[in-house]
Amino acid sequence: MPETNVSFKLCDILLPREQIRKRVAELAGMINSEYRNERLVLVGVLKGAVIFTADLARMIEDSIDVRMDFMAVSSYGNSSSSSGAVKIIKDMDTPALNQNIILVEDIMDTGLTLSYLKDMLMARNPKSLKTCVLLEKPERKKVECAIEYRGFEIPDEFVVGYGLDYAGRWRNLSDIWRVVEG
């Protein structure tokens, strides 16, 4: 995460909207073939995964009985180094017991947030638990955490747009942009 005492500006587009749309459709296609005629709870992690979760949900076919739920988390400590300890600001509304759950995240950086949330939900004995992550930065990974549905691997650069923010800004952009100091 860039330091907050320097300012950042948009640099260039890393992933254009058409490429994102095509990949989200592919991920939805995989989910459609694996959960046909089943019940599924999509759990988006606020706020970064809101746009991704909404787009993905609309591409899931009608034979799947979908519930949408959300969790909000914040990491303890300073924002530039994730400690792995995650504070739950808002939990799921749906009980996880015996449900097919897909945890939907915007980005996996160190993997600490996702692995914490997975462990927490697994302890609630869901029928199944998978993760769907739009972006992964493999170079930053600190913990192993399986991702069943992955959008894109990206380099170790800070990105915004399509739900991702820098200090609350740029979530609304349709493309995913690199930011630079300036």
Query: Could you give the residue numbers annotated as active site?
Result: 109
- Which residues touch 5 (CB under 8 Å, ≥6 apart)? none
Binding string to ligand IMP for residues 65 to 84, with x set by CB under 6 A, is what? Answer: -----------------x--
Structural element, H or E, at residue 21:
helix 17-35
In the bound state with ligand IMP, the residue whose beta carbon lies nearer, of 64 and 110, is 110
Position among 109, 129, 130, 177 found at the interface with ligand IMP (CB under 6 A): 109
Among positions 158-177, residues that touch ligand IMP (CB under 6 A) are: 158-160, 164
Cis status, amide bond into 47, omega within 30 of 0: yes
In the bound state with ligand IMP, the residue whose beta carbon lies nearer, of 57 and 84, is 84
- Residue 98 CA to residue 118 CA, distance in Å, equals 15
- Give residue for tokens 């330091």: 3
- Name the site residues for ligand IMP (rule: CB under 6 A): 48, 82, 105-114, 158-160, 164
